[in-house]
Amino acid sequence: MRRRLVILAVAGAIALPVAGALAQAEAERRVDAAIERLRAALGPEARITWGLRQVDPVSGRTRLGDVVVVSTGRRVTIAEVLLADVSEARLGRAEFRAVLMTEGKGERTELARLVLGGVPIPAAGQGIDPAQLEIGLLEAEALSIQSVEGTIRLGRLAAEGYAPGVLGQAVAEGLEYRGGGSNAGNNARIGRLALAGVTMPVPGQDIDIKDVTLRSASLEGASLVDASRKVDVSLGRLALRDWVPGRLTDLAVEAVSVGTEFGAMGPGVFRLGRFVMQGIDGAGLATAWSTNVQPADPVPGVPQLFLAEGLAAEANGAPLFSLGRFQADGSMAADGVLGGSLVLDGLRVLLPRGSVPPLEQMGYSEIAGGLEMRGTYRRAGGRFTLEPWRTSWQDAATLTLGGRFLDMPAAEPGAPIDSDAQAAALMAGRLERLTLSWRDQGLLGRAIAWQARQQRVPEARVREQWAQMVMAMPLPGDAPPARGRAAPPATAGKGATAPAPSAGGKAGPAPQATGPATGPATGPATGPATGPSTGPDPLPAIREALAQFIRQPREIEFTLQPPQPIAFGEMAGLAGLGASETARRLGVSVRLP
């Protein structure tokens, strides 16, 4: 018994070193096989050497020191390489410290630290194909790439889950480019870039926006300077979420500045304070535009929003344009009615001296105002209501437009967009009612005052001249209006007229209107557009209202309300019937509110 124990002890003492040696040999073999495959993938001329090599026989972890990789035209030195979980087909984890690569004429790449994980090793006889490369983990610190074309620096990069066409997530910080040689003066910078859930074309394929999706993306502190094109762009922040077809995208952009040459006006800059997009399938919308199909309708009950604030432009340090707010929104109700609005607040356009002489002569050095539009659309019957479209020009006028239309075309979501077919279908759309209102807030008075100064006559005389021109102006297809003068300014209330002086200076009767200025000018015809119509001529009342508006410019409102909704295609045929008949068929009326 004792003899057996002695034999086992001796065998164990011999087996342990042998087993350790075998494990050491196996670990060495796996490392050698992996290194050889990597060397072969770099090309037949590649050589890999090292000054220090340590392999742990239990864990297989390997440490290499003073590594040198030489291939055609390229030399890489690495102070230390740490390898773990290495097999002949896969590199579990590799950490490279103090990497220096030189190639070509003065091209130099330095990297303080690089970590790669989950990287397949090319099979024997195969090279490294970027289109097939997979990386489970990548970390890089203090990267510097120098060449005659410029210098690139990267503070930190971390990425996970990369495969051709897919990226799990990535974060890059402190990315800078400074041009050299022919690119001197060009530079770019990104403070921080983060991406998650990315799909994209594989390397080598053309990039198309419809082939890119993002679960989220953010960009901070970006700038670009192109000295040759005199372009300077900066971006404070961009945040994007759910750029995926079928999902509602959120996009926010802040502090955008674009500097460039504004032609003869010299160097200029455009600024945007903030832009927001919400409730919109951004990827689906981009795909629809790129494939020329009708975008999807809004999701019922979910409002859509485009918002831009703080827009401004200047040239040579002088302001040109500013807009406080641009907002467009849309929604779909449960009953299928689409609604939307557009608002421009705080619009201001400065007129460079000499650019618009007529406005300058009337005392305008800028155009300030805003715009508001609201409308609804129901596909059933193609009913479109515009109420209102209001454009205001400070110290000048406000124009308001409203209307109701039937059979207005709109393609179904996903249907191909045919511009010719849409234009033809639009001609079948019908006008039910259209109202246009002009509220004068100084424009007409300034125009009259300017002409009075030019002619060196009283303003009252110019007003009367303009009023008489309206009363006497011939219209296509109609006989000249009866000779006479228009009535002077009303004194008995809105819409009232008083006798006007006759040609000899005495008071004479004003031309008789066919209807009150506060109601429809005619009883519109009800027959077809090609047949005769009945009813008084509406033009005298229209002329009289215009003349009265010129004398006392406040507000004037025109309405088109045909007895039966009329197609736009039919309107073109009315032109040959003369102005009076056309006005009767369209149910034109005018009033002075």
For the stretch 123-171, pLDDT in tens is 776 767 777 889 999 999 999 999 988 999 999 999 999 999 999 999 9
The answer to whether 53 touches 66, Cβ cutoff 8 Å, is: no
The answer to whether 238 touches 280, Cβ cutoff 8 Å, is: no
What count of other Cβ atoms lies within 10 Å of the Cβ of residue 426?
15
* Of 142, 218, 227, the residue nearest 182 (C-alpha): 227
Which residues, in sequence order, are CB contacts of 561 under 8 Å at separation 6+?
Answer: 432, 433, 434, 520, 524, 587, 589
- State how far the Cα of 86 lies from the Cα of 33, in Å rounded to an integer: 10
For the stretch 27-46, pLDDT in tens is 677 778 778 877 777 777 88
Q: pTM for this one?
A: 0.79
For the stretch 408-431, pLDDT in tens is 998 888 889 888 888 888 999 999
> Over 380-434, what HEC string results?
CCCEEEEEEEEEEECCCEEEEEEEEEECCCCCCCCCECCHHHHHHHHHCCEEEEE
Helices (H), ranges, 43-75:
none
Res 354 pLDDT > 80: no
- State how far the Cα of 183 lies from the Cα of 242, in Å rounded to an integer: 37
For the stretch 206-253, pLDDT in tens is 777 778 999 999 999 999 999 888 999 999 999 999 999 989 999 999
Res 178 pLDDT > 90: yes
Domains of the chain: 24-128 (2.60.450), 438-591 (no CATH)
Least confident of 99-103, 136-140, 339-343, 493-497: 493-497
- State how far the Cα of 472 lies from the Cα of 486, in Å rounded to an integer: 9
For the stretch 396-408, pLDDT in tens is 999 999 999 999 9
